[in-house]
Structure 1
Amino acid sequence: MATLILSTVGGIVGGPIGSAIGAVIGNALDRDVLFKPKGRDGPRLSELHLQTSSYGTPLQRVFGTMRVGGCVIWSTDLIESRTSSGGGKGQPSTTSYSYSASFAVALSGRPIQSVGRIWADGKLLRGAGGDFKSATGFRLHVGGEGQAVDPLIASAEGVGLTPAHRGLAYAVFEHFELADYGNRIPSLTFEVVADAAPVSVGAIAQELADGRIDGSAAPQTVTGFAANGDSVRAVAETLAVAGGAWFAPDGRALRMRAGVAADHAIADGETVANGAARGKHGRAMAALETVPRHVTLAHYDPARDYQTGVQQARRPGAGVREDRVEMPAVIAADIAKTMAEAVLARAEAARERRTVTLGWDSLTIAPGACVSITGVAGVWRVTGWALEHMVLSLECVRLAAGTLPVSASAGRVLPAPDVATGTTLLAAFEAPPPEDSVLSVPRVTIVAAGTQPGWRRAALLYSTDGGARWVAAGATAVPGILGQIVGPLGVAGAAIVDRANVIEVELAHAAMALAGADAGALDAGVNLALVGNELLQFGEATQITATRWHLAVLLRGRRATEAAIGTQRAGDCFVLLEPDAAATLDVPTATLGTDVRILASGLGDVGGPVDVTVALTGRSILPLSPIHLTWCELGNGDVAVRWIRRSRAGLRWVDGVDAPLAEEREVYRVALVSPDGRAIAVQTTEPALTVQRADRIAGLSLAVRQVGAHGESAALNGMIPAWVD
């Protein structure tokens, strides 16, 4: 009779999928159903699949949880936005440009459940909590059969020309801000959750082969797997390595098998059908040097953000051969270590081979079956089958016993930081600029932060007409330090160090911190904070809890805010004024005496933007109130009144002489009010005034204001007693 000898698959895997197919159904399934007649190209391990946009790129089919790149299937041109700022008195305006894009990325050729984290150029774009680190709209289409057309793509391409991509999972980014990525679409990778739990290699092979592979007997699971390439056969063989499996015929299909349970017991010396001969048993043992001494298994490690991990297995004895197994699946380090040990154990066991001859009535023992041989230890897998002259010859290879689990470490991990964004906290107020500059238009200072450490910035809009019209104002500066005071703050003088009072501050989150400062640093302006309506500095900062601090050694009423000393109450704002954390907004002079509304919208503000209203009193551009009101008798009942002016351009008084005027001219308006309510307004061009005896008979109250180009300062108040002969 004709002889049929089946080929085997060499190497340490020994997965005879080709042999099993040939034994049962020849090449028909391989050629016409499962495996196309071309070079096999299956999944390969790489440093994660990069995003592509090439036409005709095969789409991976994702199982379990896997980090994958995608294929851009649709995009718009870059969208340019223009913002102008500045342009105040004598200053040119500044125009800045920003760019965004809208695009869609295909993720999986089979339906998925969700998408977790997203990385852009290796940095975390979307955290585990679903928060985005850069501004973008985002929609996920999971690939169901009832999937609808994406509205953005339909609006751009036309409803009738836009496919729903049913069966294809894809993500749509709308107006993705590109400033953080060099004004280009970054390379994106996605944590795709196709199945909520780990999935068995048998189930993957069965689905990829449209049910023509029965994988129920291959229970080894992987956390995630992305089937890509143009050959189901290559993918199936890769999965066999992961499960220590092989393939056996099952009707017109294949069964993926694993384990060491024997299907048949072959009796030693069993006779053939005609009784003319007895079974023959041949044994061959390959040299130890043919077995790898060192096996390296590379895989995707979930503990390393799905980057490549490597585990190794070694054996003692002779030999120098080293083998590397690339397993493009997501598996933990200890499972990968166990898998490497199992690959090495299977290679060692496969050194021993046996040839068994049996009668034709044993034809049911097909390639891929497991047998036990009487008098011979272990279980053997049939790899070759030949029938000649009614004598059946079986080529068998020893199966390795099960490998016990071993522990392993993923090594040092430096994952991309995933810090929650939180919602925006916004403080906006008008105050004299800290750098002693002389402004010509009102200025609002804006300090923002978030309720969580991951907050970075927020877009700003403002309105000077009650919200009828809004104007873009750029973005906030770097996150500031914000909080609230826990209790009231006592009264103290503005001319000496306040060592009697302590501020208790509750900061927004534990990542915010304060630090003390010595006298030199305080003189240079550090640790300036707005507490309620008072600007002050602190020299000591003591942490009480993760977010609570005690501040002491205070300099009160800084930058002409002494009128607010002692007005604070529990819950009032605390804002640390640092140059790099403060954004400024200059508004027209005509807005003095009105309110300006400011909207801030950050990535985590899903409930809507933060709205703050600032009353424009002119504190940033009006002269400072005079100080040190004194008077003296001139001997005839007249009184000489004097005061000292202050300058917006010289609050620090660094040179010991008169501060610069910083106004167009020096003018003061003095209101003299008698007890009966009669008022006299006097204007003077020097910080002095003589009050006549006739005007002070019943005593007087004085209110001195410096006059500037945009209005008058706050009043310096005093009293002159009545004249007594």
Structure 2
Amino acid sequence: MATIVLGAVGTVLGGPVGGAIGALAGRAFDQAVLFQPGRRQGPRLTELQVQTSTYGTQIPRVFGTMRVAGTVIWATDLRETATNSGGGKGQPGVTTFSYAASFAVALSARRVLRIGRIWADGNLLRGEAGDFKSEIGAFRLHDGGPDQAVDPLIAAAEGVGQTPAHRGIAYALFEDLQLADYGNRIPSLTFEVVADDGPVSAGAIVADLTGGAITGGATAAEGESVDGYAASGEDIAAAIDPLVQAQGLVLTARADGLSLTQPQPGGTIGLPSLAARINGTAEAARRAARDPAEDVPLRLGLRHYAPARDYQAGMQTAVRPGVGRVARTIDLPAAMDAEAAKALAQARLTQAWRARGRIDLLCGWDALLHVPGSIVTVAGDAGEGEAGMGEAGRWRVETREWADMGVRLRLRGWPGAAAPVTAASGGRVLRQPDAPHGATRLMIAELPVVGDSAPDAPVVMLAAAGVSEGWRRAALFTVDPASGTASPIGRTAPAAVMGHVVVPPGAGSASLFDRHGSIDVAVPTGGAALTGADDAALLRGANLCLVGEELIQFGRVQPIGPGQYRLTHLLRGRRGTEWAIAGHAAGEAFLLIDADRLVAVPGEAVARGALFQAMAIGIGDTVPVDAVRLIRGEAMLPLAPVHLAAQAEGAGDWRISWIRRSRTGWDWADGVDAPLGEEREGWAIAVVAGGAVLRTVETDVASWLYPAADRAADLAAAGGGAITLRVQQRGTHGLGRPAMLGIGG
């Protein structure tokens, strides 16, 4: 019987092939015997998606374009960088650590042309344009060519004499990849490997794997090419088995050697070829039978990689009518679109259904011309086809046996023209935008007290974002304005929601919800983070933003153009910033106060009344980006008192009174004084006229008696004009903002 056993194929193709080809001449693969469903069929699809570093792990041979995880073949220890912050003015110091790693990942046991995108933990690390999304010192691709040189970084670490060049293995080398974006660990990487330009045929893949011992047909038949393929397995037969199953290929012997192709036409077996007698004994020339329908899968699934879905695994399923419970799946480690996978699944199911029918023929010697694997017709055959499952009268030569002075042929039913493929969908992928990192935008924001404690240093935040959606993070530094020395303070937070004011808010009150006012802002990136909030959430502090110097909360968001939003239902002058309500202008800065997107500057790095300079350097910055701001120390100073009033007392004296506010008391508690929040209570009162200070008074209670004689003297000094009372709380670190009360002449 002209059948090659599977174990022999693996041995022959894996070793010397010169004598083997002669020994195999005239023989052919029988798919039903060689590629049995129970046998290991090359790599499972999940194996190409999980990065490994296990010794002895097989490295696939990649064809076309595929997404593979690869195997880590070399790595350094993590490189640790410590950054110190804090420790000033009685506060404990904080040391933060960042890590980088250098490592090499083997991708293919075959030469590759280039690397496209790279994913880290499922997110883009390298875009289609070759831009990296995270900071990296260097990246090199060794293509696996025969003259591949030793990588200099590995050689420097291991020694030139101890470092292999890994010729024949394509691998990628990462030098100092920053790991902050990946939890300070080496992420799981997958690579878009381009090993060939364009699709590759099954014949080309097999020819490469067997060193030319087996070739494909002269031209690739329809459906025989794939966008990419990752070949691996315990032997070469296992590596090509998924292709053979999915594409229905057969191995035939030709004059120029072995060929793995689609079954070829083999002519017609005429009635004269059938033998009625062998060695004088009468025998039936034709016996027909049909296998049970239940033995044929009711549904056949084909798992593959979908290029349109970033090479994620997908499955297309073909279903036949009729009875049955068997389901079968073919794992094909190939890249192809959904329509092609659906067509293959449908073709294989149709073929399995037609193969139920079989014919055993007893022929004369002229039947030796019919090669196993070829497609024939039988003269006078009425056909074994069934409606909707293939054309009757076409048979594949399954076996050919020369015995008893005759030739015995077994034929299996073969489908005719392919049935139309039903619509196929590969599903939708939620793809991370592949945008360039772009330049960094940096903003220094000084805030009043935003917590429940009274700080002893200015509250300064650094906000950073990019000019494009692809921006991630940047390294941060403080700069000494005198010497220009830069000191690292870590990395930026995720992109802040920051922009500028297009239409500023008008006048407003810090006491009520503003249901009529609005602010138009432009947020170039991060605008999706602007969402509305109900009143309960607003009273808990939601949607706090810095508009110029005023803290405002907004309850409603209305998109009004690309990257532009109208904010309404406002709470104005939050956290004691009512003094800034009247000072707005178009073009001033807008920043959403989100602690997760801001970086607090260490207290010892800023000083009240001094310039503060910061610098950021991101992947997309050709030069450092800097920002400078004069620090006023708003969070260190008391708030302006409220309810400043004058009440007449006998003999022309006036009682001036007010209500204290506190840096540590933000809740409205009836009947309870606001906590002091300072070392001691003290108030500075000034009588002002025309910009000149006429009188100053100090008191340690929230009231002052303005005697009639002093008032008369001050009015005289003012020339009979109006005078103004200015009241400021004296805090631990200085005078707070004033409350003003005008007194007529």
Question: How far is 1:143 from its partner?
Answer: 0.7
Matches within 5 A, 1:263-662: 264=267, 268-269=271-272, 282-289=285-292, 292-294=296-298, 296-302=300-306, 305-307=311-313, 309=315, 311-314=317-320, 316=322, 324-350=329-355, 351-355=357-361, 357-358=363-364, 367-368=372-373, 371=376, 374-376=379-381, 378=393, 381-382=396-397, 384=399, 397=412, 399-407=414-422, 409=424, 426-448=442-464, 459-465=475-481, 468-476=484-492, 480-495=496-511, 497-499=513-515, 501-507=517-523, 508-518=525-535, 521-545=537-561, 547-588=563-604, 591-600=607-616, 605=620, 610-626=625-641, 646-650=661-665, 654-662=669-677
Counterpart residue number, 2:30: none
Question: How far is 1:156 from its partner?
Answer: 2.8
RMSD (Å) for aligned C-alpha atoms: 4.6
Where does the alignment leave 5 or more consecutive residues of structure 1 unmatched?
11-16, 31-39
Conserved? CA contact 1:446–1:585, under 8 Å: yes
CA deviations on 1:234-289 (whole Å, 9 max, x unpaired) are 33343222322212223452122315534x556542699xxx99x99933334322
Counterpart residue number, 1:34: none
Counterpart residue number, 1:712: 735
Pick closer, same or farther for the CA change 1:500–1:53 going to 2, 3 Å: closer
In the alignment, the residues of structure 2 paired with residue 133 and residue 166 of structure 1 have an alpha-carbon distance, to the nearest angstrom, of: 30
After superposing the two structures, state which structure 1 stretch, 376-385 or 660-669, moved more.
376-385
Conserved? CA contact 1:66–1:191, under 8 Å: yes
In the alignment, the residues of structure 1 paired with residue 605 and residue 118 of structure 2 have an alpha-carbon distance, to the nearest angstrom, of: 46
Question: How far is 1:505 from its partner?
Answer: 2.5
Q: 1:236 aligns with which of 240, 247, 252?
A: 240
After superposing the two structures, state which structure 1 stretch, 82-91 or 700-709, moved more.
700-709
Conserved? CA contact 2:638–2:730, under 8 Å: yes
SS in 2 for 1:440: coil
Question: How far is 1:616 from its partner?
Answer: 0.8
What amino acid sits opposite 1:621 in the alignment?
M
Question: How far is 1:567 from its partner?
Answer: 2.2
In the alignment, the residues of structure 2 paired with residue 24 and residue 210 of structure 1 have an alpha-carbon distance, to the nearest angstrom, of: 12
SS in 2 for 1:48: helix
Pick closer, same or farther for the CA change 1:716–1:227 going to 2, 3 Å: same
2:278 counterpart of 1:261? no
What amino acid sits opposite 2:476 in the alignment?
L
Q: 2:2 aligns with which of 3, 6, 31?
A: 6
Task: Tell me the TM-score normalized by structure 1.
Answer: 0.79
What amino acid sits opposite 1:214 in the alignment?
T
In the alignment, the residues of structure 2 paired with residue 382 and residue 341 of structure 1 have an alpha-carbon distance, to the nearest angstrom, of: 22
Identity %: 40
Pick closer, same or farther for the CA change 1:366–1:482 going to 2, 3 Å: same
In the alignment, the residues of structure 2 paired with residue 322 and residue 436 of structure 1 have an alpha-carbon distance, to the nearest angstrom, of: 64
Conserved? CA contact 2:457–2:607, under 8 Å: no
2:225 counterpart of 1:224? no
What amino acid sits opposite 1:592 in the alignment?
R
- What number of residue pairs does the alignment pair up? 692
Question: How far is 1:296 from its partner?
Answer: 2.8
Pick closer, same or farther for the CA change 1:436–1:232 going to 2, 3 Å: closer
SS in 2 for 1:536: strand
Conserved? CA contact 1:306–1:330, under 8 Å: no
Conserved? CA contact 1:353–1:397, under 8 Å: yes
Pick closer, same or farther for the CA change 1:320–1:494 going to 2, 3 Å: closer
Question: How far is 1:441 from its partner?
Answer: 1.4
In the alignment, the residues of structure 1 paired with residue 497 and residue 550 of structure 2 have an alpha-carbon distance, to the nearest angstrom, of: 17
Conserved? CA contact 1:281–1:354, under 8 Å: no
Pick closer, same or farther for the CA change 1:139–1:652 going to 2, 3 Å: same
In the alignment, the residues of structure 1 paired with residue 496 and residue 84 of structure 2 have an alpha-carbon distance, to the nearest angstrom, of: 24
SS in 2 for 1:492: coil
Question: How far is 1:228 from its partner?
Answer: 1.0
CA deviations on 1:388-411 (whole Å, 9 max, x unpaired) are 899777665554324224225568
In the alignment, the residues of structure 2 paired with residue 468 and residue 92 of structure 1 have an alpha-carbon distance, to the nearest angstrom, of: 26
Counterpart residue number, 2:89: 89
SS in 2 for 1:190: strand
SS in 2 for 1:192: strand
After superposing the two structures, state which structure 1 stretch, 492-501 or 107-116, moved more.
492-501
2:82 counterpart of 1:66? no
Counterpart residue number, 1:153: 154
Counterpart residue number, 1:202: 203
What amino acid sits opposite 2:84 in the alignment?
S
Counterpart residue number, 1:35: none
SS in 2 for 1:55: coil
2:51 counterpart of 1:54? no
In the alignment, the residues of structure 1 paired with residue 554 and residue 372 of structure 2 have an alpha-carbon distance, to the nearest angstrom, of: 84
Question: How far is 1:511 from its partner?
Answer: 1.9
Question: How far is 1:440 from its partner?
Answer: 0.8
Question: How far is 1:293 from its partner?
Answer: 4.3
Pick closer, same or farther for the CA change 1:231–1:252 going to 2, 3 Å: farther
CA deviations on 1:354-379 (whole Å, 9 max, x unpaired) are 5464557x877655555555555745
In the alignment, the residues of structure 2 paired with residue 678 and residue 415 of structure 1 have an alpha-carbon distance, to the nearest angstrom, of: 66
After superposing the two structures, state which structure 1 stretch, 133-142 or 198-207, moved more.
133-142
SS in 2 for 1:491: coil
Question: How far is 1:574 from its partner?
Answer: 2.1
SS in 2 for 1:711: coil
Question: How far is 1:165 from its partner?
Answer: 3.9
SS in 2 for 1:341: helix
SS in 1 for 2:574: coil
After superposing the two structures, state which structure 1 stretch, 590-599 or 413-422, moved more.
413-422
SS in 2 for 1:433: coil
Where does the alignment leave 5 or more consecutive residues of structure 2 unmatched?
7-12, 28-38, 384-392
In the alignment, the residues of structure 2 paired with residue 372 and residue 467 of structure 1 have an alpha-carbon distance, to the nearest angstrom, of: 93
CA deviations on 1:122-156 (whole Å, 9 max, x unpaired) are 66666777676766556251616476654543443
In the alignment, the residues of structure 2 paired with residue 23 and residue 176 of structure 1 have an alpha-carbon distance, to the nearest angstrom, of: 49
In the alignment, the residues of structure 2 paired with residue 336 and residue 615 of structure 1 have an alpha-carbon distance, to the nearest angstrom, of: 64
Conserved? CA contact 2:684–2:729, under 8 Å: yes
SS in 1 for 2:265: coil
